[in-house]
Amino acid sequence: MVRIAVYGKGGIGKSTTVSNLSAALAERGIRVMQIGCDPKADSTALLRGGEPMKTVLELVRERGNAFELGDMIREGFGGVVCAEAGGPSPGTGCAGRGIIAALEKLKEKGAYEIAKPEVVFYDVLGDVVCGGFTMPMRPGYAQHVFVVTSGENMSIHAAANIAVAVEGFGNRGYADFAGLILNRRNVKNEEEKVEELARDIGSKIVGTLSRSDTVLEAEERGKTVIEAFPESEMAAEYRALADRVIEAAGGIG
């Protein structure tokens, strides 16, 4: 089982990217699980046609421990197993602690043994790299960390912070930093800026995605590009990126 955590600054297109990677692998018959670790709980929406689902933390608040794995997961496009950690009620609790509780509950309910995914994606907010937001990096969860970034200064800053966090945990058996994914915003000298970041953190750009209206059109339909426009150039870009991500993670099986 390949376990991958994808981080990135809010609004950078991280969840869209992860959902399209999941869809690209699923259409090949690979068993994929995607776990949203953002309090907004919208990571898997494009895989489920926008259909709402209960988050793990909502179930815990409503039922304590009186629920099963089937209450926490939904099947999305191509059979992708979808789960959303969720967050605390507004004004109460800590989102980071919520992620810890949600991931522990998924493991306790046998998520990996029952769903038997070949690839697991943890989709994690990257503006904060402390407490529970580092949970997916810890032993027993993700093995590899990728960061989605653009050439915008705040996005690069967030990516650098995540790289520092991963390096700081290096002697504890946490996930390794596997590379950057450039999601273009067409800012000045974008590729050069991200290449410089990669050199500074001793990493590489694993793949690049174009800025395209096709992505927005698919989102308006509540679908991934892979599902909505399977013959498009963007679908081909996501499929190619999926190959590079899996290769950088050491392959499947």
Q: Which pLDDT does position 188 carry in this prediction? A: 95
The residues near 149 (Cβ < 8 Å, ≥ 6 apart) are 8, 9, 12, 155, 156, 158, 159, 180, 181, 182, 183, 194, 197
The residues near 217 (Cβ < 8 Å, ≥ 6 apart) are 228, 229
pTM: 0.94
Q: Does position 91 have pLDDT exceeding 60, yes or no?
A: no
The full set of domain ranges for the chain reads 2-248
Structure tokens at 92: 């109460």
CA-based nearest residue to 79, from 47, 51, 103: 47
Percent of the chain surpassing pLDDT 70: 93
pLDDT one-digit tens code per residue, 141-158: 899 999 999 999 999 999
Higher per-residue pLDDT: 237 or 94: 237
Q: Does position 95 have pLDDT exceeding 80, yes or no?
A: no
Residue with token string 């919208």: 42
Strand order in the sheet with 2-8: 73-75, 81-84, 32-37, 119-125, 2-8, 144-149, 176-183, 205-209
Dihedral, 107, 112, 118, 124 alpha carbons, nearest 10: -30
Is the distance from CB of 133 to CB of 96 less than 8 angstroms?
Answer: yes
Instruction: Determine how β-strand 81-84 pairs with β-strand 73-75.
Output: antiparallel
- Give the chain's radius of gyration (CA, Å): 17
Domain 2-248 has CATH 1.10.3720.10: no
The residues near 183 (Cβ < 8 Å, ≥ 6 apart) are 8, 12, 13, 17, 148, 149, 150, 209, 211
Q: Which residues are catalytic?
A: 9, 14, 40, 127
Q: Which pLDDT does position 171 carry in this prediction? A: 73
